[in-house]
Amino acid sequence: MIAAHLPILQIILPLLAAPICVLIRPQKFVWPFVLIVSWATLGLAAMMLNQVLLSGPISYALGGWEAPWGIEYRVDLLNAFVILLVALIGAVVLTYAPESVKREIDGDRQPYFYAAFLLCLTGLLGICITGDAFNVFVFLEISSLSTYGLISLGRDRRALTAAYNYLILGTIGATFILIGIGLMYMMTGTLNMADLASRLQGVNHTRTIQVAFAFLSVGLTLKLALFPLHIWLPNAYTYAPSVVTAFIAATATKVSVYVFLRFVFTIFGADFAFGTMHIDYLLLPLALAGIFVASAVAIYQSNLKRLLAYSSVAQIGYIMLGISFGTITGLTAGIVHLFNHALMKGALFLAVGSIFLRINSVQLDDLSGLGKRLPVTSFAFVLAGLGLIGVPLTVGFISKWYLLLAAIEAGWWPVAVLVLISSLMALVYIWRFVETAYFRPVPDDAPPVSEAPLLMQIPMWLLIALAIGLGVQTSLTAGIAQRAALWLLAGAP
């Protein structure tokens, strides 16, 4: 039974667990319960990817109504891959969570916090798995609303303003997406993605569909934080509780990138998006601008979390740069970096969470001599940081490699050079941490501290092990990304 209903169980399991969290007494059982649910969700995701690899795309008719009358779940290689990523990060972060959450969130709110976390996970997974355009919007609302709530829980009162700004901008983004979906529905009479793809062929010369495309693109680039629509991101990442930052930095923008890929390539088709609408004219310069501006801003940050937040904006630039080529190699680069960046940024923010737990600050000034005070955590940060720069034998190198290949293949030498230069900028902002941690003395009045507990170390090192292991054994992620890119460009839904 599990095999036949895999797609729905993937969503229902965390969804069912969220209201149960609110009811569990005594409250100390909430976290163990959530932990089991999150790892079971990851298990289901692995089973599903395996099934897709073995026997091709899965379709599941919700309510037993066949598409386009009912809602369809449709899992192919691309979304199975993204679902595995989201479930993995969810399980890892929740394993890491209890100590950090105890420190940063009031005891009374913790069960509700875990419930909101599961809802966010459900929303993100639901966005990825569905084959129905409106259903994407519904789950986008679930993940967005819970994210706003989670961000607002940060200890710093500025978390409230950050969450509020994100609420306003995120709602504008979601509204744009809804307008786009509405206009498509008006012109085709359907909401099913595969059905939309075939029926749009007849009407995609109309101005209504072109406007729909524009609204969807703008709404999605806002949600995925492409420069210059990234302005909600730095504050949200900086002031959110550590575990929330780690989770959303590794998943939320990635899922939005997935939706962008799905709408642009599967629904509208590369011919329309690139041939008629010339979306690459907009994506390429914005992606490059994002890489350079955000990297430059990151260099001058004094708050480690904010530094990494700007770095995220730059890294999203790399993902979108790959996509903007519109070629198989470019898409492969984008998809593989989507996965790799999630691993690296997840590990980095988990390291920052451990630092905050012990030092009670993430200001670079307070981290002098951290290499001596917290040697293990500092080393973890540096290792993950190497990936961000793109040093060989890390996953970051694989991403950059495909990106360079794509640029050269397209004959855009200057872009390849710019990618290399920008890697040096990543080196500079990671170096700022290295310099502070290893080349500055420990302040005399610094109290001795111990490393974060093992339960926080293990998840962090798991992500780092993956970030290095998958950099050595490249065929796994890059292979899947390449096959997914082929699928997308073939236009097969």
Partner 1 sequence: MSNFISDISLQINLVDIVLLTILIVVAVAVIRVRDLFEAVVLLGIFSLLSACIFTTLDAVDVAFTEAAVGAGISTVLFLATLTLTAREEKAQYSHSWSGFIVCTLTGGALIYGTLDMPHFGDPDAPIHQHVAPRYIVESPEEIGVPNMVTSVLASYRGYDTLGETTVIFTAGLTVLLLLRRDRRSHNRIASPPTAETTDRRGSHVMHHAMVLRVMSKLFIPLILLFALYVQFHGDFGPGGGFQAGVIFAAAFVLYALIYGVEAAQRVAPPARVQVFVALGLLLYIGTGLASLFAGGNFLEYKVLAHEASHGEHIGILFIELGVGITVAAVIINTFFYFAGRGRA
Tell me if 208 contacts partner 1 by CB under 8 A. yes
Query: Residues 26, 55, 63, 441: which binds partner 1 (CB under 8 A)?
Result: 63
Residue type for position 417: V
152 part of the interface to partner 1, by CB under 8 A: yes
Among 26, 54, 55, 108, binds partner 1 (CB under 8 A): 108
Phi (first) and psi of residue 132, to 5 degrees: -125, 130
Residue 68 or 385 having the CB closest to partner 1: 68
Residue 15 engages partner 1 in binding (rule: CB under 8 A) = yes
| C-alpha separations of 143 from 121, 140, 253, 420 in Å | 7, 5, 11, 35
- Name the helix (H) or strand (E) containing 30: helix 30-55
Nearest distance in Å: CB 364, partner 1: 31
Cβ pair 143, 120 in contact under 8 A: yes
Span near partner 1 by CB under 8 A; candidates 200-208, 305-313, 344-352, 407-415: 200-208
Q: Phi and psi dihedrals of 207, rounded to 5?
A: -65, -30
- Three-state DSSP at 71 gives coil
Query: How far, CA to CA in Å, does 219 sit from each of 171, 304, 326, 331?
Result: 9, 29, 20, 21
Q: List binders of partner 1 among 32-61 (CB under 8 A).
A: 60-61
d(C-alpha 90, C-alpha 261), whole Å: 22
Query: Could you tell me the smallest distance in angstroms from the CB atom of residue 161 to partner 1?
Result: 13
Q: Does 207 bind partner 1 (CB under 8 A)?
A: yes
Q: Does 8 bind partner 1 (CB under 8 A)?
A: yes
284, 334 contact by CB (below 8 A): no
Supply φ then ψ for residue 114, to 5 degrees. Answer: -65, -35
Q: Which amino acid is at 449?
A: V
Kindly determine how many residues on this chain lie close enough to bind partner 1 according to the rule CB under 8 A: 65
Q: Tell the smallest beta-carbon distance from residue 215 to partner 1 (Å).
A: 7
Q: 75 - beta bridge partners?
A: 58
Using the rule CB under 8 A, which residue among 82, 115, 279, 452 binds partner 1?
Answer: 115
User: Which one among 64, 411, 447, 448 touches partner 1, defined by CB under 8 A?
Assistant: 64
Q: Tell me: does residue 23 bind partner 1 (CB under 8 A).
A: yes
Q: Does 228 bind partner 1 (CB under 8 A)?
A: no
Single out the residue of 149, 234, 390, 459 in contact with partner 1 (rule: CB under 8 A).
Answer: 149
Closest CA to 316 of 296, 286, 360, 271: 286
Q: In which element (H, E) is residue 396 found?
A: helix 395-409
**Binding string, residues 88-107; x marks residues near partner 1 by CB under 8 A:** ------------------xx
Shorter beta-carbon distance to partner 1: residue 20 or 328: 20
- Reference 36, options 125, 118, 99; nearest CA is 118
Classified as helix, coil or strand, 59 is strand
Among 31, 81, 96, 139, the residue binding partner 1 under the rule CB under 8 A is: 139
Q: How far is the CB of 111 from partner 1 (least distance, A)?
A: 10
> End-to-end distance of the chain based on CA atoms, in angstroms?
26
Could you say whether residue 18 binds partner 1 (CB under 8 A)? yes
Binding site for partner 1 (CB under 8 A): 1, 5, 8, 12, 15-16, 18-20, 22-23, 60-65, 68-71, 106-109, 112-113, 115-116, 119, 122, 126, 132, 134-135, 138-139, 141-142, 145-146, 148-150, 152-153, 179, 183, 185-190, 199, 203, 206-212, 214-215
